[in-house]
Structure 1
Amino acid sequence: TTVYNNDNEAVSLPGYRVDALTDAAIRYLATPRAKPFFLFLSFLEPHHQNHLDDYPPPDGYRERYTGRWTPPDLAALGGSAPQHLGGYYGMVKRLDEALGRMLDALKSLGLLDNTVVVYTADHGCHFKTRNDEYKRSGHDSSIHVPAAIHGPGFQGGGRVQKLVSLLDISATLLDIGGVAIPAEMAGQSIRALLQREAPDWPDDVFIQISEAEVGRAVRTQRWKYGVTAPQQDALLDADADHYVEAYLYDLAVDPYELTNLIGSEAHAAVTARMKERLLSRMAAAGERLPKIEAAPGWSNWQRKVADQEVNQ
């Protein structure tokens, strides 16, 4: 495994990449110190290795998971998924084991009860279901990532069914460390939310997309609404003055986002409300308010969405 230090010098580490980085992190944890520490450990797995067109797991792990469960939206597509899914699962398994090694090291060093561990990811993985989008889109397979926190104030188990953003992680870490959160900083601490002390938590999240497209989206528990600016350069342009409606999904009945409802007359009230949410989020983020061009309307004689469902 080859990594690069702060001077951009190549450093060779023995072992599978997850193991090599975990070993280095444990050596850091074991270094005596008088002050609190902050460790950011960025694993690359389970990442597609573009030059190999493969998901290479440790020896023996691909065979362990080949032929296992395939998500329904992926199973319907066929293709090379069976060839690669065992390797992907093997990568995930090794990553889980690495997290366990880190927790064991913290425990053996007497640090576990005084250390907050945040386990999350910067983006999800479409894994062959939306190849033209790469990893940058507003679909849940890209934006819905794991998030688990362990440590003082975050023990006892539990699950909170609220929408949070990666923007909230930085604010949370500052809050945990007793550092004032700058007023201009995006995001808010989720500590009170996890301790069931934040009754007024937002009921939507804002999504900004670049590189694959210039796009914006907003998601609630039930609905997902997105717009795109096809006239913009996805690599060079950060935003746009003009967007067009791209999609509306009912996540309650369509969790894989396979049925695009944008333009549906039965969902006109939902579309209008989600557009309001999106513009409000864009304004709060300091973006200039654009024109959003409505998608062409169509009807399938479905009943209109009830008023009480619009804000879900």
Structure 2
Amino acid sequence: MAQQRSSKIDRRKFLLAGAATGAALGLGNTATATPAPAAPSQPNIILFLSDQFRWDFLGANQLNGSAHTPNLDALANSGTLFTHAVTNQPVCAPARSVLFTSRFATETGVWRNGLPLSQTLPTLAGELRKSGYTSNLIGKWHLAPHTIAEGGGPGFVRPEYRGGFLDLWEGANELEHTSHPYYGSIWDGDGHEITYKDEYRVDFITDRTERFLRQKHTKPFFLFVSQLEPHQQNDMQNRIIGPNGSAERFANSYVPPDLRNLPGNWQQELPDYYGAVESIDNSVGRIMKTLDEQGLASNTIFVFISDHGCHFETRNKEYKRSVHNASSRIPLIIHGPGFETPQRINQMCGIIDIAPTLLEIAGASAPSSMKGHSLVPLIRDQKARAAWPNQQLLQISESMTGRAIRTPDWTYCIAEITGTTNQPASPVYQEYQMYDQRNDPYEQTNLAGRKEFRKQADELREQLKKLLTYAGEPEPEIRPAKLYP
């Protein structure tokens, strides 16, 4: 990976690019830099994460006519929309560990679900607290030890396992196991249970968020709103459950092209998924309305993101844990003071880049341990876009032990040759998948092993090796595919 670039800028001289003309699947950005109002030195920050939200279900990405996301679209169209954002580990806990530490999952201690976040690494929440912020969480965490005896499990999380969120805490380690669509529990910081009943889970989490925003704040706040939807309900046959009536309202809705030709459960689950997505959009709308009513909108950065996407059992036996766009590509919007000039950023970026970005927005320095790149230069500087390291490393666990490099043009994936899933990495891999993103954006044809693409595969293999060493892994042996998959 290219060397980390400096993220130190004078925020009072912040310049934003003008509106971009690239489409969601396009590359480059022809916008010219135009002056914009300076962002406050310490704006409030809301990081809103919607679990398992596909990037193409954001209406502003212009690929899905059935997705109903008017509030998110308004934020994207008046702020900054990143069209080529990916997760660096497409499964819940590992992705969150990358998000908060800006380190790869094999470095955070959370290379699969059920493992605790390393307490030795600086976190976004902890660093913001050092800079004068309060750090607050409402919703799902999923980074505490799995066993209740260690203070983790599905429910209450002890303070030492909260990753720096030491102010307001109203959450559950595994929200999908302590709650259901219309009833359940979260816990406050002292271990007191907070229950809800006869209200959709998204609305309950939004209620708690509005309650927090209406309180008096004497310091700038960082708030992580962690919604479960549109993730499936694990203990109900892994079903996705939208608000009541979703299945009827969204019957016969648009089917994304990557799903149409493949067996899976999308035929049954898509209507409720659409309903859950709509509920997330309504939640965002309520939060933005509350910010406006409380006089906080002009001093609050709002970030919308997901930890991974959803392929509806078309690529493996569940919903994610694959390199495909449906699983690894995510929505990313940044809106608020300093981001008022509408623009679309088409460079590749990863969830690993979020912590350095938010620290720079807050006027804080990112710790040297963080390996992501602040996205702020992409917003203000055409030269930074041209020099951007336009590639991302993906680590895969649980479905396989795999690695992949994602560029604007290609996805190149390798897998551990015996199919084991009980180790964080492997010394030997074999080429497994290769997709041409320019000509096959829905990834219907696997090119791994085809002699016509041997030169490109060799180049991607060497780039991937460099990314792996940057991630702290020993350089592996990568064997060429011998058969057409």
Normalised TM-score (structure 2): 0.59
Q: Deviations over 1:107-157 (max 9, x none)?
A: 111111111111000011012322425411211111101000101121221
**Distance in 1 separating the partners of 2:439 and 2:344:** 22
Pair 1:23 & 2:207 matched? yes
Aligned AA (1:28) = F
Name the counterpart of 1:10. 193
**Is the contact between residue 411 and residue 435 of structure 2 (CA under 8 Å) also seen in structure 1?**
yes
**Is the contact between residue 232 and residue 240 of structure 1 (CA under 8 Å) also seen in structure 2?**
no
**Is the contact between residue 250 and residue 272 of structure 2 (CA under 8 Å) also seen in structure 1?**
yes
Normalised TM-score (structure 1): 0.90
Residue 434 of structure 2: SS of its match in structure 1?
strand
Pair 1:228 & 2:422 matched? no
**Distance in 2 separating the partners of 1:103 and 1:175:** 23
Name the counterpart of 1:62. 247
Q: Deviations over 1:154-180 (max 9, x none)?
A: 122110111000000011111111111
Pair 1:96 & 2:281 matched? yes
Name the counterpart of 1:157. 342
Name the counterpart of 1:47. 231
Aligned AA (1:264) = R
Counterpart pick for 1:138 among 300, 323, 326:
323
**Distance in 1 separating the partners of 2:263 and 2:424:** 36
Residue 234 of structure 1: SS of its match in structure 2?
coil
Please give the residue correspondences for 1:177-196 in structure 2 after superposition, counting only pairs within 5 Å. Answer: 177-196=362-381
Please give the residue correspondences for 1:1-312 in structure 2 after superposition, counting only pairs within 5 Å. Answer: 1-5=183-187, 6-7=189-190, 9-14=192-197, 15-53=199-237, 54-77=239-262, 80-132=265-317, 134-197=319-382, 198=384, 199-231=386-418, 233-235=420-422, 237-296=423-482
**Deviation of the 1:20 alpha carbon:** 0.2
**Is the contact between residue 391 and residue 405 of structure 2 (CA under 8 Å) also seen in structure 1?**
yes
Aligned AA (2:426) = A
In structure 2, the CA distance between the partners of 1:111 and 1:175, relative to structure 1 (3 Å rule), is same
**Is the contact between residue 258 and residue 443 of structure 2 (CA under 8 Å) also seen in structure 1?**
no
Relative contact order (C-alpha < 8 Å, sep 6+): which is higher? 2
Task: Tell me the percent identity.
Answer: 39
**Distance in 1 separating the partners of 2:264 and 2:473:** 41
Name the counterpart of 2:32. none
Q: Deviations over 1:16-50 (max 9, x none)?
A: 10000001011001110110001001100001123
**Is the contact between residue 57 and residue 90 of structure 1 (CA under 8 Å) also seen in structure 2?**
yes
- What is the count of residue pairs matched by the alignment? 297
- Give the CA RMSD over aligned residues: 1.8
Residue 254 of structure 2: SS of its match in structure 1?
coil
In structure 2, the CA distance between the partners of 1:208 and 1:86, relative to structure 1 (3 Å rule), is same
**Distance in 1 separating the partners of 2:430 and 2:318:** 17
**Deviation of the 1:209 alpha carbon:** 1.1
Segments of 5+ residues of structure 2 without an aligned counterpart are 1-182
Query: In terms of Rg, which structure is larger?
Result: 1
In structure 2, the CA distance between the partners of 1:49 and 1:148, relative to structure 1 (3 Å rule), is same
In structure 2, the CA distance between the partners of 1:37 and 1:133, relative to structure 1 (3 Å rule), is same
**Is the contact between residue 248 and residue 271 of structure 2 (CA under 8 Å) also seen in structure 1?**
yes
**Is the contact between residue 412 and residue 434 of structure 2 (CA under 8 Å) also seen in structure 1?**
yes
Q: Deviations over 1:174-228 (max 9, x none)?
A: 1111111112212011011122352311111111111221110001111110101
**Distance in 2 separating the partners of 1:78 and 1:239:** 30
**Distance in 1 separating the partners of 2:356 and 2:396:** 22
Structure having the higher strand fraction is: 2
**Distance in 2 separating the partners of 1:98 and 1:230:** 44
Aligned AA (2:459) = R
